[in-house]
Amino acid sequence: MSAAAIRVEGLSKMYLIGERQPYKSLRESIMRALSKPFRGEPGDEATVWALKDVSLEIGEGEVVGLIGRNGAGKSTLLKILSRITEPTEGRVELHGRVGSLLEVGTGFHQELTGRENIYLNGAILGMRRAEIARKFDEIVDFAEVERFIDTPVKHFSTGMYLRLAFAVAAHLEPEILLVDEVLAVGDAAFQKKCMGKMGDVARGGRTVLFVSHNLAAVQALCQRAVLLRSGRMHLYGGVDEVVSTYHAEISSAEASLSARQDRQGDQRLVVSKLHIFPLRGNPGDTVRTGDDTVFELYYENRCGQSVRNLEVTIGIYDFLGRAMTFLENAPTGVRIDTDAESGSFRCVVPKLPLIPGQYVVNLHLKEHMTIIDWVQQALAFTVHDGDFFGTGKQTFTRVGGVFVPQSWAHRAHGSSQGEP
């Protein structure tokens, strides 16, 4: 194995969550200083370890994926490696010039033109002026914005803006590259281009640490992967092994859904189970495109208070994290009140229109403006090939997002034979 480019030992990061806002008013600080003799030390605030005792070593030229649920510590780890924030404990060794890409378009200014923003953004990402000038045409070309390069970016469409932002970032050439979920940008064609560019970077001998929810992308780009779970390193090994472990983790969410700690809301109701299965079948059965499909959500009422006018949302996202659709009771005119100890909500989607593939579900319970329970990535499920159009033929579409019912007709005008 080659020399280590990144070495991390016993890395931990603690955040205070007790205070509503991390910054203080002067009055508060003075009051605290004055009252200190009469109170305990301020260490009694609630703390959370975003990262706990993580050690890992990444060799020079290795491309490593970093996966895990939201809140598992992926972004915190990247921020520490990028020197944006300091670890509470542990040490980091980096051998080589580091470039980090935690979002695209950092420092873009709405009033400046595309050209000006390329220089500004490049400088912020750590590129030299000469380097930016050299790559300028390539960047503009990649972003496909030649015609608008001297227009303020506030007049850009979202797509153009993101393409330009990604293009600048993609031309960064550090020895160690840290990337956080920046591929889900633009339309499908541009995403393909981004993936291609990332592939070039990955093969270019650079050390890359790559965070993504796009497991297919991680598998395509990385040889090895790290799985973080609640701030701890759960697994570090070959990418296929790690991805399948992670997939099992989110697929078996049924068992662990009620045990999930990273939920938000006041928790008057807690979602304990979610089943997705065909209406003419049982929980656990395969879901196919075109089947009438049941989304059944079980809840527990742990504090005995009643909830009026509950709004339930089941958000369905594809593997790139793009929102596909939201199943919601409120817009359909169904009112839900409950004071039961437990129960379930059942939503039936006739002729499931999702194209075959992998999907992730976010759950959200709300009463008026108050969040009751919110679980992100509560469940992953797979939609298999099916007979959407009821023709007895399987669908093989893998592009686009959904099937829509449609009818076709052909009417011919005139005849190629001429009038008889």
Partner 1 sequence: MRLGELWAYRELLYFLIWRDVKVRYKQTVLGAAWAILQPLLTAAVFTLFFGRLAGIASDGMPYPLFSYVGLLAWTFFAQGLTQSSASVVGSAQLITKVYFPRLVIPIAAVLSGFVDLAVAFPVVVVMMWHYHVWPGLALLALPCLVLLGLVAAVGVGLWLSALNVKYRDVRYVVPFLVQIWLFVTPVIYPASTVAAYLEGWGIPAWVLGLNPMAGVVEGFRWALLGAPTTPGPLIASSAVTGLVLLVSGIFYFRSVERSFADVV
Residues that bind partner 1 in the complex, under the rule CB under 8 A: 15, 22-27, 29, 79, 82-86, 98, 100, 102-103, 106-107, 109, 111-112, 116, 119-120, 123-126, 128-129
Q: How far is the CB of 33 from partner 1 (least distance, A)?
A: 13
Q: Which is nearer to partner 1, 161 or 403 (CB)?
A: 161
Nearer to partner 1, 161 or 236 (CB): 161
Between 79 and 213, whose beta carbon lies closer to partner 1?
79
Nearer to partner 1, 133 or 334 (CB): 133
26 vs 369 by CB, closer to partner 1: 26
Q: Which is closer to partner 1, CB of 106 or CB of 230?
A: 106
Starting at the edge strand that comes first in sequence, how are the strands of the sheet with 342-349 ordered?
269-278, 293-301, 342-349
The DSSP annotation for 37-105 comes to GGS--GGGS-EEEEEEEEEEEEETT-EEEEE--TTSSHHHHHHHHTTSS--SEEEEEE-S-EEEESSTT
CA distances from 356 to 143, 145, 249, 322 (A): 30, 34, 21, 15
Of 231 and 356, the one with the shorter C-beta distance to partner 1 is 231
How near is the Cβ of 186 to partner 1 at its closest, in Å?
Answer: 20
Could you tell me which residues come within 8 angstroms of residue 89 by beta carbon, excluding any fewer than 6 positions away? 10, 11, 12
Q: Report in angstroms how near the CB of residue 397 gets to partner 1 at its nearest.
A: 37
CB of 111 to partner 1, least distance (A): 5
Residue written as tokens 């007709």? 409
For the bound state, the minimum distance from the C-beta of residue 214 to partner 1, rounded and expressed in Å, comes to 20
Q: What is the DSSP string of 110-121?
A: TTSBHHHHHHHH
Nearest approach, Cβ of residue 20 and partner 1 (Å): 13
Cβ-based nearer residue to partner 1, 72 or 182: 182
Angle, helices 129-143/114-124, rounded to nearest 10 degrees: 130
CB of 15 to partner 1, least distance (A): 7
Strands 63-67 and 224-229: parallel
Q: How far apart are CA 115 and CA 123, in angstroms?
A: 13
Q: Smallest distance, Å, CB 8 to partner 1?
A: 16
For the record, the structure tokens of 40 come out as 């305990």
Round to whole Å and give the CA distance between 143 and 76: 29
3-state secondary structure 342-409: EEEEEEEECCCCECCEEEEEEEEEEECCEEEEEEEEEEEEEEECCCCCCCCCCCCCCCCCECCCCCCC
Residue with tokens 């709004």: 311
Nearer to partner 1, 79 or 193 (CB): 79
Q: How far is the CB of 198 from partner 1 (least distance, A)?
A: 19
Among residues 379, 399, 394, the alpha carbon closest in space to that of 258 is found at 379
